[in-house]
């Protein structure tokens, strides 16, 4: 299985926003996203990696 590419936090946020998520808050280098319309979907939390 090939390794997954490392992408920046900004790029990841843009991808998830296209899927219907929105940034709720950022504390330090960690970004939290929730789905706009479907609250049953899992919330996302990931570090803002500069790459």
Query: Per residue of the chain (51 residues), what is the pLDDT tens digit?
Result: 899 888 888 899 999 999 999 999 999 889 999 998 888 888 999 888 776
Return the pLDDT at 46. 86
Return the pLDDT at 2. 92
Please enumerate, as own/partner, the contacts of 40-49 that have beta carbons within 8 Å and a separation of 24 or more.
44/16, 46/9, 46/12, 47/9, 48/8, 48/9, 48/10, 49/6, 49/7, 49/8, 49/9
């Amino acid at each position: 299985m090939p390794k997954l590419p490392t992408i920046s936090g900004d790029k990841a946020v843009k991808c998830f926003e296209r899927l219907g998520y929105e940034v709720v808050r950022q504390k330090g280098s960690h970004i939290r996203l929730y789905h706009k319309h479907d609250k049953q979907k899992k919330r996302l939390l990931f570090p803002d990696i500069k790459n």
